Chain A
Amino acid sequence: MAEIRNYTINFGPQHPSAHGVLRLVLELDGEVVVRADPHIGLLHRGTEKLAETRTWVQSVPYMDRLDYVSMMCNEHAYCMAIERLLGLEVPIRAQYIRVMFDEITRILNHLLGIGTHALDIGAMTMVLYTFREREDLMDAYEAVSGARMHAAYYRPGGVYRDLPDRMPQYAVNKFKNANTVRELNENRQGSLLDFLEDFTQRFGGYCDDYETLLTDNRIWKQRTVGIGVVTPEQAKAWGFTGPMLRGSGVAWDLRKKQPYEVYDRVDFDIPIGKNGDCYDRYLCRMEEMRQSNRIVKQCIDWLRKNPGPVIADNYKVAPPPRERMKGNMEELIHHFKLFTEGMHVPSGEVYAAIEHPKGEFGVYAVSDGANKPYRLKLRAPGFAHLAAMDEIARGHMIADVVAIIGTMDVVFGEIDR
């Protein structure tokens, strides 16, 4: 009798739902997955090694390119690590700006995560709706840093500059007539904070829209309830963080447990799931977006009332203001040294972690006192999640593997680094 062998397929890297360059070798028994073997490294760019040959500040833009859907959060962890090594105090206004943009980033990330999760499961309208909202948030990124994705806005000691008083406007062109442009510019008349406030007011309604499309949809529930179940014990053992951990009912959030910046001054709740399946994680992300919206609102209120510096005034670390530099020898030298040699960070090692939209994103840096890191290690939450692929996907069907990839919200920038 002929030997019966399982069917092995190569899922990706060229696959519509591989979320970039995931290569997954699936061993199938019919449609049922016997073994899922994720292969990583196709997007490896050697960020950690590159950082060793660049000054501390020069690596900030590399952080954007790690998890390229939650750019500023990556920067945040990196800047925090440097600040801890330096023992540097960040001005309170900069802390609020950072918290606000971290939460904007969380919304950005979850919008993409939920949108593509739904797209993987076949509800393609979701992704277009969520991208509509992402567009507004990207505009906020652009207003503040000039770049829509790779912002490089956070700096050791604060943020690059204060929030702008006006938003970029659309202009009339071949495809957009005056009326369209007026409509598009309607909420861009005021400052960035006005624009964001308008967004936070609309955003709740958008979340309700998404929920009408998915939350009670029977097909959506059939596809996600009971799929990819992770028990709290497993989640802890596998090093899960973020919604993957909270979806299993573990109330762990660095923003609450180890508050950094001003998270202890803002009011928010952390949602947790119950069953640890894809559906609970989806609900968690949905609620996290609403909570982030709440935080952004509070930050806007605070930022309106409290002007102040947004970057530390230690000119050994942060560049001096340009006007002062023009007339002052001391500050000209500081400027020159900062932009040629860069800052020197006292020797030592540090681990700084933040509650990244995907989980705990940590930066472990070792400094030998030079102007660049001796060693940099990044803890990417997605790496631990993807590593559990085999355990989670085993016994499920191919269609569920797709749902699981979606629920892990994998982004290869951070996993392959």
Chain B
Amino acid sequence: MEALLEPVVQLFGPAWPAVWTLTKIVAIIAPLMLCVAYLTLAERKVIGYMQVRIGPNRVGPKGLLQPIADGMKLLFKEIIVPSGASKGLFILGPILAIAPSLAAWAVVPFGDGMVLADVNAGLLFLLAITSVEVYGVIIAGWASNSKYPFLGSMRAAAQMVSYEVAMGFALICVLLISASLNLTDIVRSQGQGQFHDMGLSFLSWNWIPLFPMFIVFLISGIAETNRAPFDVVEGESEVVAGHMVEYSGMAFALFFLAEYANMILVSILTSVLFVGGWLSPVSFLPDGFFWLALKTAFFLFVFLWARATFPRFRYDHIMRLGWKVFIPITLVWVIVVAVWMMSPLSIWK
């Protein structure tokens, strides 16, 4: 590998590190975008079958080219900027929505050492970057200078900020027991323990000792990405499409891509933090990216499943659930975990 790359390194000279990083970024973003595109198809298919219908099956074999057709349609559509809108901010909105949801992937490990930026404060970086996402929504809602988007963005501001708190506390528990903010280390720390030695690694993963946190994190993740049943931000039957009402063409598509990229991000994070990332559930099978993909796919399925099953929460119920249920639970569990670690019963020694 090294020898193979040598002439290329020579070619770029001092610019090589930048080129190499860009290559890696493309290697992450391109498959990610493909996943996003096909997640939309998967969603329509999965929900379709849950709702006794077939879903798209006309474009390409079995409807497999549907996302491409959708993408092309949106690409060729005009981006209409309403005359009353603040033009600069209106354009900035979708950019601010998609940028963080892509940037967050920098620290996500796909396998042992397979990570773009192996930073020690990975978890902190994730928290910081995902917090920025809400600005895209708020700016979009505000800049549209229209009533429904404004209402949607007000809801977004409240909802995303509240659930971030619960998510943050859930993460504190994880980093307490892993003693690291590095996502790779967090996965590695799950691959040891009594059950792992017995060959049943899946029982040593974080999801058992941190079960309440695992659930809170997953639900907060759904709320954080504004997916059903927490989709009041764009709740179709209430605020039509929330902040996206005035957007068309690619500007709209960017919000869409951001939403689905976030769904994948939350799913992959849940896999990494709670169910052992790329680790194999039983020791006689090899570890590998395959397991991470499988776990992520499962959580994505949960997202879609929830959407097909539940009615939508009301805005104030969401706030109540966030502040009066999740935050107290997480706070208590942080203390429980901390005491547990210090007690003789600790399983993380």
Point out residues on A near B: beta carbons under 8 Å.
7, 9-10, 15-17, 31, 118-125, 128-129, 132, 213-214, 217, 219-220, 222-223, 397-400, 402
B313 touches A219 (CB 8 A): yes
Known: A7-B151, A122-B313. 13 other contacts (CB 8 A): A119-B237, A121-B237, A125-B47, A125-B50, A125-B51, A129-B52, A217-B311, A222-B313, A223-B311, A223-B312, A397-B316, A400-B314, A402-B237
Max chain A C-beta neighbours (<10 A), residue from B237, B239, B310, B317: B237
Bound-complex Cα distance A217 to B148 (A): 29
A219 touches B147 (CB 8 A): no
Of B148, B232, B309, B310, which is within 8 A of A9 by CB?
A: B148
Bound-complex Cα distance A158 to B238 (A): 45
A220 touches B51 (CB 8 A): no
B238 touches A219 (CB 8 A): no
Shortest B53–chain A CB gap in Å is 6
A31 CB contacts on chain B under 8 angstroms: 151, 315-316
A17 CB contacts on chain B under 8 angstroms: 236-238
Is B276 interfacial (CB 8 A cutoff)?
no
Is B235 interfacial (CB 8 A cutoff)?
yes
Give me 16 A-to-B residue pairs in the complex whose CB atoms sit less than 8 angstroms apart, sorted by A's number: A9-B147, A17-B236, A17-B237, A17-B238, A31-B151, A31-B316, A122-B229, A122-B310, A125-B309, A128-B51, A128-B53, A132-B52, A219-B310, A399-B235, A399-B238, A402-B238
A10 CB contacts on chain B under 8 angstroms: 147
Beyond A9-B148, A122-B231, is A220–B311 a contact (Cβ under 8 Å)? Answer: yes
B53 touches A122 (CB 8 A): no
Of A16, A217, A398, which is within 8 A of B310 by CB?
A: A217
A402 CB contacts on chain B under 8 angstroms: 237-238
Point out residues on B near A: beta carbons under 8 Å.
47, 50-53, 147-148, 151, 228-229, 231-232, 235-240, 308-317
Beyond A9-B148, A16-B240, A122-B237, is A128–B311 a contact (Cβ under 8 Å)? Answer: no
B315 touches A123 (CB 8 A): no
Bound-complex Cα distance A124 to B47 (A): 10
B147 touches A123 (CB 8 A): no
Shortest B231–chain A CB gap in Å is 7
Of A122, A123, A128, A222, which is within 8 A of B52 by CB?
A: A128
Nearest 3 CB-CB pairings of A with B: A122-B312, A17-B237, A123-B311
A213 CB contacts on chain B under 8 angstroms: 309
